[in-house]
Copies of this chain bind each other. A is one copy, B any other.
Amino acid sequence: MVRPGRRGGVTSRDVARVAGLSQSTVSRVLQGNTNVTPGARAKVLAALEETGYAPNLLARAMKTHSTGTIGVVVSNITNPFYPQMLQALSMAMERADRRLTLFIGDGAGERAALDAIRQRLVDGVVFTTATTSSRPLREAMDHGAPVVLVNRAVEGLPCDQITTDNVDGSAQVADYLMAAGRRRVGLLNGPQEASTAREREAGFVDRWRQLGGEVDPALAVRGDFSYQAGYAAALDMVSRPRPPEVIYSASDSMALGVVNGLRACGVAVPEDMWVVSFDDIEPARWEVFSLTTVRQPMVEMADKAVELLLNRIADPGAPLRAVRLPTHLVVRGSTAHFRV
């Protein structure tokens, strides 16, 4: 093991010196270039081993204009949906030999990630929570920033987008509740800036009305996808003169709050109140929740997002792609195992 001289560590020049060859040749061996004699290659390999060389990837990135790092923006990492998405994204990136730089937070995270593209720190960015109103995102598009949206869509934004069939998932919920005879539904919708929220709301309401159901506007409230919002909504709905028979939450994260809020009020699920939601995150299947919920194929979403982003980076001019994956209702104990 040759001790590095300066703070910078061993360079390819050091390796070249040890091998008795030029730095170019070392670089060629590193790049798998075939124009190297077996003898030279062997010397370089030995020198690489002896010096414990690790390439300076900043320098490489300077030349190649590619850092091998992808940014990921999540709004709130303590919402369990995002760790699961992040896990899936991380695995897909690892397979593609890419690193993941994480940006947490809605506005600030988004801006920081977009800056990182311009600053050449990341090759592209995955947005898990894009909102319609994001001006920085639109501006980044004008500059051709390599971006992919997963989970949420933003109409008219010229980038690749991966979503799931939120409308159909919600329609399945409507079908299910109508067949079960639960007509008085409390709707806990998500924030209007989120496409997921809009689609899940419309998907349910449209089908529900088609089926002859009614939606009491007094029982339609809006949360921000947080546990706290679900908790508060549960307390609110329960205190109404005529409470709903079932609460349909636009996300599992809010549904966890709903179930706990109901428990705090002494309202039993499913005996006194049914709960249905969307996502099928891990806690949904825990006994204490046992949520009937619409499953999104997280791993497929993440895989597709990474695939499209890498394609986009490799070929910025390729036609835009919009992928929509199917969803399906998973029935569990929070609706008393009623099966249609």
Could you list which residues of chain A lie within 8 angstroms of chain B, going by C-beta atoms? 7-9, 54-59, 61-62, 65, 67, 69, 77-78, 80, 82-84, 86-87, 90-91, 94, 99-105, 108, 112, 115-116, 118-121, 227, 256, 259-261, 263-264, 282-283, 286-289
Nearest CB of chain B from residue A200's CB, rounded to whole Å: 24
Among A9, A55, A67, A118, which residue has the most Cβ atoms of chain B within 10 A?
Answer: A118
- Interfacial chain B residues near A80, Cβ < 8 Å: 78, 80, 83
**A-B contact list, 16 entries, CB within 8 Å:** A54-B118, A56-B119, A57-B119, A58-B119, A58-B121, A69-B121, A77-B86, A77-B87, A78-B84, A83-B83, A86-B102, A99-B101, A99-B116, A100-B102, A256-B286, A261-B287
A6 closest partner in B (C-beta): B65
Whether the Cβ atoms of A99 and B121 lie closer than 8 Å is yes
A86 closest partner in B (C-beta): B77
**A260 contacts which of B86, B256, B260, B287 (Cβ < 8 Å)?**
B287
**A90 contacts which of B7, B102, B121 (Cβ < 8 Å)?**
B102
Q: How far is the CA of A227 from the CA of B288 in the complex (A)?
A: 13
Whether the Cβ atoms of B288 and A120 lie closer than 8 Å is no
Among A87, A99, A112, A259, which residue has the most Cβ atoms of chain B within 10 A?
Answer: A99
- Interfacial chain B residues near A104, Cβ < 8 Å: 86-87, 90-91
Q: How far is the CA of A69 from the CA of B120 in the complex (A)?
A: 13
- Interfacial chain B residues near A56, Cβ < 8 Å: 119-120
A264 closest partner in B (C-beta): B287
Nearest CB of chain B from residue A279's CB, rounded to whole Å: 14
9 smallest A-B Cβ distances: which pairs? A54-B118, A288-B288, A57-B119, A263-B287, A260-B287, A102-B102, A77-B83, A90-B104, A56-B120
**A289 contacts which of B86, B102, B288 (Cβ < 8 Å)?**
B288
- Interfacial chain B residues near A67, Cβ < 8 Å: 58
What's the number of copies of this chain in the assembled complex? 2
Whether the Cβ atoms of A115 and B288 lie closer than 8 Å is no
Instruction: Beyond the given A54-B119, A83-B83, A261-B287, please list 14 additional residue pairs across the A-B interface where CB-CB is below 8 A.
Output: A9-B120, A54-B115, A54-B118, A56-B120, A57-B121, A58-B58, A58-B67, A77-B83, A77-B86, A87-B104, A90-B102, A94-B112, A99-B121, A100-B101
Q: How far is the CA of A242 from the CA of B305 in the complex (A)?
A: 52
Q: How far is the CA of A108 from the CA of B93 in the complex (A)?
A: 13
**A65 contacts which of B8, B78, B115 (Cβ < 8 Å)?**
B8
Whether the Cβ atoms of A59 and B57 lie closer than 8 Å is no
Q: How far is the CA of A264 from the CA of B58 in the complex (A)?
A: 53
- Interfacial chain B residues near A105, Cβ < 8 Å: 94
Whether the Cβ atoms of A119 and B83 lie closer than 8 Å is no
Whether the Cβ atoms of A263 and B288 lie closer than 8 Å is yes
Whether the Cβ atoms of A87 and B94 lie closer than 8 Å is no
Q: How far is the CA of A205 from the CA of B133 in the complex (A)?
A: 56
- Interfacial chain B residues near A55, Cβ < 8 Å: 119
